[in-house]
Amino acid sequence: MLNQRERTAGAVTDAALKWLTAHDKKPFFAFVHYYDPHRPFEAPERFARRFEDPYDAEIAYADSQFGRLVAALDSLGLARGTVIAVVADHGEGLGDHGEDTHALFLYNSTVRVPVVIHVPGRPALAGTVSNREVSLVDIAPTLASLCAVVTPDGSQGRVLLAGDGTGPPPGGPPLYLESYYPYYSHGWSPLEGVIDGRMKYVRAPRPELYDLAADPAELVNLYGADPERDEKFERVLANVRRAVTPRAQAVAARAPLGEESQRLRSLGYVAGNLSPPPGDFSGLPDPKLMAPTLSAYMLGVSYMSDGRLDLAAREFERVLEGDSTNYAVWEFLSETELLLGNPQAAERAARKAAEAPEPGVRTWFCLGMSLLEQADTAGAVKMLERTLQKNPLYGPALAVTARIEDARGMRKQALEYYSRALEAMPANAELLTDYGSCLLAAGRPSEAEGYLRQAVKIPGAPWRTWFNLGVACQRQGKPAEALAAYRSAARDTLAAPRVFNNLGICLFSLAEYGESEKAYRAALALDDTYAEAWNNLGGSLAAQGEIAGAAQAYARALEIQPRYPDACFNYALLLAERLDQPDSAATLIARGISVEPDSPRARAMADFAGKLRAP
């Protein structure tokens, strides 16, 4: 419900190929971002069957999609002139040093990533492997040099391979590492570090120093064995931070604005304006000591992903007993309580999560949803606005805001939010259905049909999708297509009575009176107080000559809803024309006219009543 699903590697490649195919072959830059593999590891079935480890399955799936992209470059005639760089932003701990995922520590299991660069027309470089320590900040200036593009002043990084074939001399400046995730998400100490030659230093409440050449697994902490060496690396880190920070600020000042910036931020590549952590974090918990807590937290997340919500809530609460200011756990507990249908508990947890130094979008979203579930729409809207201030592309908040505006009858605003939400979540059947429904309410059935047809192609599309598609087709005078859609909706065991009512209307319009009767009776079997279905059933029975049954159906409709104009008029016609009761008919006509005197049918029935009274 709340998690925004990742875009699969297949969908990313499809979008990239569409863009490349439409490209006019001018020089181009494409950043193709594959989110796979990330938790939850859910590779397509044919890959999941081949690999015992679901992480390996997702890697293989992403690799296959990247292969599609490279093959397309060749078929489009672009391969010979395209430099390709393949990099990762992080690895996955998979239990190393007690870290199952990534971001908590600065060990090589997560910060050491592959960098592969393909340069067309340079066969001598093929297969060249370098073991030098480099940084991801080196990618941009390297690509710029290979493509003869001037990098802006203040940019970080070195040219690893220039257009003239040269590279940087051996050695180079220390590489800077950091993880502020422990601080911003859990209230623990942030980590900062440097790699200088063969040594790695990590600043933490319990500092670490490793000889990467002798100890690549980083198992032997050398910090404290040589105080003079320790001080040296503390100075190295301080110098690197002083050099990095001004340049980072200069680049940030030139960062892309508007929608492009927001898209990058939603992927985690533009940090935004975060308040800095405290200069002295020695009093904060050391993430190394909190690894068991993190494992318990991830167990709760796994329970949640599996739908075992009671177990997830229990695990989160257990973590909070020993770590009561863990903002990420409060956030997940809030989401779990929402899914369990406990909005008050969800609100309490979200408000605790909001005490974080920089509450995330999901915190504000969970708080908004908990208020909405408690009928505090105004409070919910404020929290949703705050969510969208943090990330204007956050699909769930856009979707909920759209539904709120739709319920208020603010259709123009609702349609705008639906459109933006679909950009973020393009393959969401519920969202496409709601957008189509709103377009129907706005009197735009043709546009609605397009979105609803997209929705019904998605596995698991709800009955509402087929129902609204039927309405869209019916309003455009396409009864056969409407009938097919209504029948699809009726096959859903959760289908509402109105599905069968509309199916009956469609069948009646095709003169299938016996079948329409069955549909109306199916609606009434689900809700025998459905006045419209009783009224429509009366019409089907009358069309089949079952006058007594029709009279009973109309009478039942008016028993449920005495001032129902259509039932008044339909019963009146039956009484006057088939049962020879003009006085009773005139009484019903007068009642119906009193409800909607200016409607075309009311005026026609007034004329009919006049004829009944004529001598």
Per-residue pLDDT of 519-572, as tens digits, reads 999 999 999 999 999 999 999 999 999 999 999 999 999 999 999 999 999 999
Which among 305, 262, 257 has a CA at the least distance from the CA of 424? 262
114-155 pLDDT per residue, tens:
899 998 888 777 778 887 788 898 898 889 888 888 877 767
Q: Is residue 4 part of a domain?
A: no
* Cα(482)–Cα(478) distance, integer angstroms: 6
Q: Is residue 340 part of a domain?
A: yes
Neighbours of 288 (CB within 10 A): 21
Number of domains in the chain: 1
> Locate tokens 């177990």: which residue?
311
Predicted structure pTM score:
0.73
Q: Is residue 549 part of a domain?
A: no
* Cα(497)–Cα(595) distance, integer angstroms: 25
Q: Is residue 360 part of a domain?
A: yes
Residue range 230-251: mean pLDDT, rounded: 77
Indicate which CATH number applies to the domain containing 341.
1.25.40.10
Q: Is residue 293 part of a domain?
A: no
- Quick one: pLDDT at residue 4? 46
At a CB cut-off of 8 Å and minimum separation 6, what does 280 contact? none
47-70 pLDDT per residue, tens:
999 999 999 999 999 999 999 999
358-404 pLDDT per residue, tens:
898 999 999 999 999 999 999 999 999 999 998 999 999 999 999 99
Q: Determine the residue type at 600.
A: P
* Cα(270)–Cα(179) distance, integer angstroms: 15
* Average model confidence (pLDDT) across the chain: 89
Which among 490, 501, 497 has a CA at the least distance from the CA of 463? 490
- Number of Cα atoms under 13 Å in the Cβ half of residue 474: 21
Q: Is residue 287 part of a domain?
A: no
Q: Is residue 281 part of a domain?
A: no
Confidence tier at 102 by pLDDT (50, 70, 90)? confident
Which among 531, 541, 600 has a CA at the least distance from the CA of 568? 531
**Least confident range of 157-166, 470-479, 486-495:** 157-166
Whether the CA torsion 241, 244, 246, 248 is positive or negative: it is negative
What is the domain extent for residue 333?
307-391
**Contact (CB, 8 A) for 297 and 329:** yes
**Contact (CB, 8 A) for 176 and 241:** yes
Task: List the helix and strand counts (H, then E) for the chain.
Answer: 27, 6
Residue range 241-260: mean pLDDT, rounded: 56
107-125 pLDDT per residue, tens:
999 999 989 999 888 877 7
Q: Is residue 367 part of a domain?
A: yes
